[in-house]
Structure 1
Amino acid sequence: MNNIQNNPGNPPPVFQFNSDSTFDFRAILIKYLRYWPWILSFIIVGVAAAFFINRYSTPIWSVESTVLIKDESSGMSMDLFENSGLIKSTNNIENEIGILKSYTLAEEAIQELNLNVQVFKQGMLGAVPAYGNQSMLVEVDWKHPQMVGGMMKLVKGQNNDFSLSFEESNFLAYNPADPFYKTQIENITLREGNYQFGEWIEGVNFRFRVKNISASPDEAFLFQLQDTPSLAKKYKNDLMVGPINKEASILSLRLETPVRRLGEDYLNTLMDVYLQRELNEKNRTSDNTVRFIENQLSDITDSLTFFEDRLEQYRTQNKVFNLSEEGNQIFQRMQELETERSQMEINLKYYQTLQNYLDTNSEEDLLVPSVVGISDPLLNSLVLNLGELQAEKVRLSSNFSEQTPAVREIKSKIDNTRNVLRENVNSAIRNTQSMLGELKGNIRQVEQQINVLPETERRLLGIQRKFTINENIYVYLLQKRAEAEITRASNSPKNTVLDWAKAGNMPVAPKTKVNYLLGMLLGLFIPLGFVAVRDFFNVKIEDVKELERLIKMPVVAKIGRAKYGVSVPVLSEPRSSVTEGFRSLRADMTYLSPHKKDNLTILFTSTVSGEGKTFCSVNTASAFALKGKRTLLMGLDLRKPKIAMDFGLENEQGISTCLSTDISWEKLVQKSQTENLDIFLSGPIPPNPAEILLQDKFEQIMKEIKDRYDVVVMDCPPVGLVSETKELFRYADINMFVFRQQYSRRESTELANEIYEKGGVKKLYGLMNDIHLNGVGGYGYGYGYGGNYGYHEDRQVSWWKRFVMKG
């Protein structure tokens, strides 16, 4: 490279086209508009798909209902334990939402509705869920393992029979012994065929029978078996529960379902089960009270009967019916003491029962102290609060694990309340036992007064005393039982259903307008997205503007795509736009090298093979020849010569022959069919093409050629593949670096910039070859340039492309 001449200066600013780096919206629009047939096709397909979805998909209905969650005052527990953390809020909306969305509640509702046999009817796009008005009834023995999940089809025969077949055979095995675990059935033992109505169809994994309700011959019936746990989980997840606003205690229940009546029935049943569950919890206290009182009554009834018989027998035998005035006074006093002692003994028995309950950590329902006549407000509030906490724990445990913070917190509150209650119960037991001791002492004093009475009256008083005591206790217990039964009968749920379930006037899905909009947007963005992704991963130069941004040298020529099969359009198609492009390049040479008007040497090279340097060399030389310039086209690509094929010549002798022998170059130059155009072919491929061009002889030949011809066009090998091209730059007045649209890689511009920036090559310019209508920058000429230099007929540019490319 020592012989390379220094660059006298940078090219004139008039050719510096790559200085504009602004965003070109017009170019982007043109790039995407050329895909309009694909975009339009995808939009039509998207809209058509939306139409079919709207027309044939199963409508989805939204069913809604509302429940009012009422406040319930907890009495003294709020006053006494509000700051201790031992009580909970009675209007806990989150807890009520958890109850309504619990698996247990969903399971009870499904069992109430008997939804285990799912019925379908045949629709345009498949089976559609149905509900009610069944022509056949499938009775399933759910205590037996069953095949669930798959769909079966029944067709009524002409007699009392039907045929059974499988529409979907993906069955799972449901085992009632392990209801939450199901396995895939590989071999179905249930055979397809004819069966009789009413007969049990039984096997290892199935047991059911079919009853005819109103089916007519050849009528089809589709059904699917679903186990209760699976249905409960599905409906539990599908149900949406939430307050109508942040401040309200009204919950909205919403369910989206393809069967409107089924959704309404399920929500109504769910609310019934929810209210009944709450009522059962309230009634449980009354039931426990009645049970406790009845146990006490069974004991006291025997004693009352026994003393009643003794009293009657003693009066008859001794003819004594009334006590004396003194005896009546003693009897009244004794009766009061005995009644008080009996009440205390009942209280003590309750305290001991409660103590045993706390010591065993039982979670059964508690009996409220006020039921047995204990009016201690502190004890009553503690027992009520403990019952509420335990009920809350049961509700939370049905939805959450033991390690959940909410469950752990409620357990901590239960433990704290138990400890406080245990201390109060122990204290009450001690006080009651002390009071019983005092009462017994008073009773002994009254018994001493009885001893002074006559024996007959004394014995009558004793029998009557015991009878009266048992009678009073009996009446008291009867009164308490009546009160408990009245309370039970008057119980009602504290929460209320405001609106029973009802569906909207229109289905919520499919959303017709949204589907059409999505169809259009998808039809628009799928092809655009594909183009964007393709362009993102594309490494080829797409248009002239991109080339101007990438290279630091001016781009002075834009050559379009020639017809297929035409290698020299300048000679064969003088009126084509490609020819006009080379004429423009010929005219620009005057400005690119103003001091070399009579003797001009032009070099064409590229980065890699296939970018069109030979095509540009041949046509540029032809353009100068047509102008009357004595022109020589030199084929300096000694490795892959192509010029001979374009002119129909034989490449038997040429430059390599001249440099390796003593034959004069004038004898090897061949005349073309075009006046003023001579061709100096490359000749046979030598074993050392790089070294053969570096001979001093080649430099002498170039001097002689320049003296003989007005224009010398050098078709050189790609500078990115071979090294000798860099040595050939020094012989040229103008060096053209050829790039090909949608063929040259972007990184190829780095080599051109490196050569340009080093400053050792004079007048280096870029040329964009094979520009066609698919170009993004708006330089399309309407040519088809395919293959290596693929050619086809000129195309008429459509009106819309002419419109967007105006200006």
Structure 2
Amino acid sequence: MALIENNDLSNTSSGNFNFDLKKTLSTYLKQWKWFALSCLICIGLTYLDLRYTTPQYLAVAKIMLLDDKDNSSMGALKDLSLFSEKEDAMVEDEIEVVKSRSFLRNIIKRLNLNTKYYVKGRVGESELYKNSPIVVNFIESDSIINKTSFQFYVEVLSSTDFNYRVNEEDNSKQYVFGETIPTSFGGIIISPKSNNLESFIGSDIRVKITPLEYLAESLKNKIDIDPIGKSSKVVEVSMVDPVIEKAKDIVNTLIDEYNKSTIEEKNEISKSTADFINERVELIAEDLVNVDDSIVRFKTGNKITDVASEAGQFLSSSVENEQRLDQAKTQISQLNYMKETLGDDASMYQPIPSNLGLGDPTITALSMRYNEVLETRRTLLKSAGEQNPVVIQLDQTLNGIRQNLGQSIDNSSKSLRLQISSLQSQSQRINSKISANPRQQSRLRSIERSQGIKESLYLYLLEKREEATISLTATSPSAKVIDEAYNSAGGPVSPNKQIAYISALFFGLAIPFGFFYIKNLLDTKIHNKEDIDRELKNITVLGELPKVKSSGKSLVERNDRSILSESFRMIRTNFEFVKNGKESKEYNNVVFVTSTINGEGKSFFSLNMALTLANANKRVLLIGADVRNPQIYPALKKNYSNARSNIGLTEFLVDKSILVGEAINTYKINDINIDILLSGKVPPNPAELLMNDRLKDLFDHVSDQYDYVIVDTAPAMLVTDTLLISKYAGHTIYLTRAGYTEKQILNFAKDLHQNNKLNGMMLVVNDVRESNFGYGAQYGYYGAPVKKGFFRRKRV
């Protein structure tokens, strides 16, 4: 059982969140008149706005930012690391340069934009850019005028006269063209233009002088500069202004000013570069002279001409000297050996080597002579003895030669020793020069290196000086104009009529949609039968009652075919169907009419329901049981002048002598007979009065005498009166009112139904608007005359 209840609950919950597109659209389509009115108003306002809005035009120009590597005067120093920069300047940086305030100030000065002329039209005024019939000349300096904010009015009277005034409401003063007019910032002179002055006679011209800085800031915000691509150097310069010629001139002048500025900057850089190079050339020339002098002083001081060649000569001299020294030492060794040989007695008669004394020809000749004599002696000794006179003579000759040879050897040895000493001294000098040569060579090479560097730098600067000099006469601009300023749209870009009307249509639909959406979102009231079905399930809804206009009829009539009457007939039919479907019980023909709070239409419904039932030839009694706030009598008094209220329910319950028939009166309302028991006077104790036993006697009597007894009771939530007498009701019709009854307070009605506090509880929705009304009201009553619209009447 619990499972079934949970399933039902989940199905109910999911059903609450189902989105019905058709129903949602129908909710807004019912308000189509407001949507149409809103669209008409928005489109009308848009038309007026377009009619009197000053059109804006777009001037566009395209330029290409050129690379400095091809045309910049800094090319003279680009090879130097000190001056090296990126070859491609950032496009964003150049854009900021183009939009700089200095450029904009120059544009304003060149085009005289700080003085504007306006002519009044029927609605607004338009600017006279180049078509102004007058020109204002200032006596004061530009520094004062550029800071001045001032305006005045000129009315051209003729080709010679005009009226002048500062404020529009001031009295005019007549002047002659060319006359000095005093102002707060100095005198001004107004001169005419002969070409179009005649066409402006009688026109009122406003002249406005604006400070230069303010105009520069305003112009900066109006000019738009953007690259056409992420990595492109082509830049689009655009500006929107009411005067297309003015916008074109500003854009073209801006580009021209940028090129002039870059050319001047490059020329200034070239001149500075040339001056810098000249200074460096002079300094380096002085350094070169100093280096040359250093080389001369170094070579002179060291007595060298060429260090490398002299180093080679010293090396060869050293080798040669060593060879000579070794040779001398060898010769003296030979001489010493020869002397030793001569001094040895054992080897007295031994031959002496003749090749030992190569250094001295005397020794060589004596050695050869000695050997010859010795050989003669040996030969003679073979045939003669040692005592042979010839042999003795030969011995004497040998001794003489030996003595001479020894003396020659001593002389030669002395000579060789001197030579060796000289060679050794010479070798030391050569070696000292050889050891000093690397330092000399290093020092000279350092000086020559400095000389080479300064010489190459000198030649390089001479070359760059020529380049810088040439660049002064060959400087090109930094921007190449691809397209001069032109009107890109061919017409005004603002206001865009198509977009404006589409926006008007959008807002025309969005405003009422938003209004009704928020209204529905914040709405906490019921509006028709469907709202009741969603809030109160398992309670029968008899029907809906349409909203009655203040000028319309509030009571049904006999043979009435109005929507109100048909709605009550439908409720009557539904009530009969519900009544017949239930088992008959006590007070089955007694119907209580109540509601949650006051003002939901109980008395209105009770009276009309009684008339509807009586219209079906039923005997009907209407009882006014709302003794606290009786409303049936005022309604009767309004529609039935003979209404009486001497005896009512209050009097009947208080006075036991009053019979039921005395308290009931018969009325003929709209040709329908109906019996009514009015409420009577308002008692001080309504709740206690309704607990009187006579009330049961009343209902017992009238339930037998009448086909239907309709009882108008008090609101069930506000007072306890209805619940006290609910036991006498066979059926209870619970009234709710569209646009009045809160959904939250319907929980009270739900509680009454669940706890069976009201017998046979049924619901009726009162005061439903025609747009929310269901069934017949949406399409009109069957058989009733059809209201023809305007277009249908035209076709008939």
Give the alignment's TM-score, normalised by structure 2: 0.66
Q: Deviations over 1:238-265 (max 9, x none)?
A: 1111111123121111111111111111
Q: Would you say the 8 A contact 1:21–1:549 is kept in 2?
A: no
| 1:117-128 equivalence runs, <5 A | 117-128=115-126
Alignment of 1:490-569 (within 5 A): 490-504=474-488, 505-552=490-537, 553-561=539-547, 569=555
Q: Please list the CA deviations of residues 44-90 of structure 1 after superposition, one character each: whole Å capped at 9, or x if unmatched.
A: 343344444444433322111122123345989999989xx995563
Counterpart CA distance in 2 for 1:497 and 1:123 is 38
Q: Measure, in 1, the Cα distance between the counterparts of 2:607 and 2:189.
A: 90
Q: What's the offset of the Cα at 1:446?
A: 12
Match of 2:631 in 1: 642
Give the counterpart letter for 2:683 in structure 1: P
Residues 172-204 of structure 1: per-residue CA shift (max 9 Å, x gap): xxxxxxxxxxxxxxxxxx984223333333343
User: 1:131-280 alignment to 2 at 5 Å?
Assistant: 131-140=129-138, 141=140, 142-144=142-144, 151-158=151-158, 160-166=160-166, 192-205=172-185, 207-214=187-194, 215-216=197-198, 217-280=201-264
Q: Distance in 2 between matches of 1:267 and 1:731?
A: 94
Runs (5+) with no aligned partner, structure 2: 1-11, 306-457
Deviation at 1:614, TM superposition (A): 0.9
Q: Deviations over 1:484-532 (max 9, x none)?
A: 4333112223432222222222222221222222233333333444444
SS at 1:144's partner residue? helix
CA–CA distance in structure 2, aligned partners of residues 475 and 93 of structure 1? 36
Pair 1:672 & 2:660 matched: no
Separation in 1 of the partners of 2:192 and 2:207? 14
**Aligned AA for 1:596?**
S
Give the Å deviation of 1:735.
1.0
Cα distance between partner residues in 2 of 1:700 and 1:19 = 49
Question: TM-score scaled to structure 1, two decimals?
Answer: 0.65
Please name the residue that 1:113 is paired with. Answer: 111
Whole-Å separation in 1 of the counterparts to 2:31 and 2:149: 47
5+ residue gaps in structure 1? 1-15, 170-189, 301-338, 346-432, 450-473, 784-793, 803-807
Contact 1:289 1:484 in 2 (8 A): yes
Measure the CA separation in 2 of the matches of 1:529 and 1:166. Answer: 49
Where does 1:706-745 land on structure 2 (aligned, <5 Å)? 706-745=703-742
Corresponding residue for 1:586? Answer: 572
- In structure 2, relative to structure 1, the CA distance for the partners of 1:596 and 1:510 (3 Å cut) is same
2: CA distance, partners of 1:31 / 1:340:
95
Distance 1:79 1:800, change over 3 A: farther
Q: What SS does the corresponding residue of 2:58 show, helix, strand or coil?
A: strand
Two-structure CA RMSD over aligned residues (Å): 4.3
Structure 2 Cα separation of the partners of residues 133 and 91 of structure 1: 41
**1:795 shift after superposition:** 9.5
Deviations 1:102-159 (A, max 9, x none): 2222222222222111122334431112311332111234433689666532122346
Structure 1 position 612 matched with structure 2 position 601: yes
SS in 2 for 1:673: strand
Structural mapping, 1:286-301, within 5 Å: 286-291=270-275
Separation of aligned partners in 2, 1:477 and 1:576:
112
Equivalent residue, structure 2, for 1:653: 647
- What are the within-5 Å matches in structure 2 for residues 778-797 of structure 1? 780=777, 797=787
Q: In 2 relative to 1, CA 64–168 (structure 1 residues): closer, same or farther, beyond 3 Å?
A: farther
- Cα distance change on mapping 1:692 and 1:63 into 2, 3 Å: same
Q: CA deviation at 1:294?
A: 8.1
User: Structure 1 CA distance, aligned partners of 2:77 and 2:147?
Assistant: 53
Preserved CA contact (<8 Å) 1:28 1:776: no
The change in CA–CA distance for 1:627 and 1:156 in structure 2 (over 3 A counts) is closer
Q: Does 1:99 align with 2:43?
A: no
User: Of 84, 87, 90, which aligns to 2:88?
Assistant: 90
| 1:601–1:732 contact (8 Å) kept in structure 2 | yes
| Secondary structure of 2:268's aligned partner | helix
Identity across matched positions, percent: 26
Q: Could you report, residue by residue, the CA deviation over 1:299-327 in whole angstroms, capped at 9, with x for unpaired residues?
A: x9xxxxxxxxxxxxxxxxxxxxxxxxxxx
Q: Whose Rg is larger?
A: 2
2:114–2:210 contact (8 Å) kept in structure 1: yes
Distance 2:284 2:278 in 1: 21
Matches within 5 A, 1:238-387: 238-291=222-275, 342-344=286-288
**Residue 69 (structure 1) aligned with residue 73 (structure 2):** no
The aligned residue for residue 352 of structure 1 is none
**Residues 341 and 439 in structure 1, CA contact (< 8 A), matched pair in contact too:** no
Q: Per the alignment, in what secondary structure is the counterpart of residue 685 of structure 1?
A: coil
Counterpart CA distance in 2 for 1:52 and 1:743 is 41
2:643–2:667 Cα contact (<8 Å) kept? no
Which stretch shows the higher mean deviation, 254-263 or 208-217? 208-217
- CA separation of 1:206/1:523 partners in 2, compared to 1, >3 Å: closer, same or farther? farther
Taking a change above 3 Å as real, the CA distance of residues 781 and 494 of structure 1, as seen in their structure-2 partners, is closer
1:747 paired with 2:731, answer no
Task: Verify the 8 A CA contact 1:608 1:721 in the aligned structure 2.
Answer: yes
CA distance in 2, matches of 1:478, 1:88: 25
Name which of 590, 595, 600 aligns with 2:583. Answer: 595
Match for 1:58: what amino acid? T
Partner residue in 2 for 1:662 = 656
What residue is the counterpart of 1:770 in the other structure?
767
How far residue 622 of structure 1 moved from its aligned partner, in angstroms, is: 2.7
Q: Give the conservation status (yes or no) of the 8 Å contact 2:525–2:739.
A: yes
Shift in CA distance, 711/95, structure 1 to aligned 2, threshold 3 Å:
same
Letter in 1 for 2:606: S
**Contact 2:588 / 2:731 at 8 angstroms: preserved in 1?**
no
More relative contact order, 1 or 2 (CA 8 Å, 6+ apart): 1
- Secondary structure in structure 2 of the residue aligned to 1:762: coil
Higher alpha-carbon deviation: 496-505 or 263-272: 496-505
In structure 1, distance between residues paired with 2:762 and 2:79: 95
